Copies of this chain bind each other. A is one copy, B any other.
Amino acid sequence: MRIGQLAELVGVDTQTIRFYERQGLLPSPDRQENGYRVYTEEHSERLAFICRCRILDLSLAEIHELQRYQDDPHQPCAAVNALLDDHISHVRSQITALQALEKQLVSLRASCNDGREVEACGVLAGISEGSMHQQ
Contact = CB atoms under 8 A, between A and B. Distances in A.
A124 B69 contact: yes
A22 B98 CA distance: 29
A121 to B, nearest CB: 4
A114 to B, nearest CB: 4
Number of copies: 2
Given A88-B105, A127-B49, A116 B55 contact: no
A16 interface: no
A132 interface: yes
Interface string A90-133: 01101100110110111011001111111111011001101010
Max chain B CB contacts within 10 Å: which of A49, A69, A121, A132?
Answer: A121
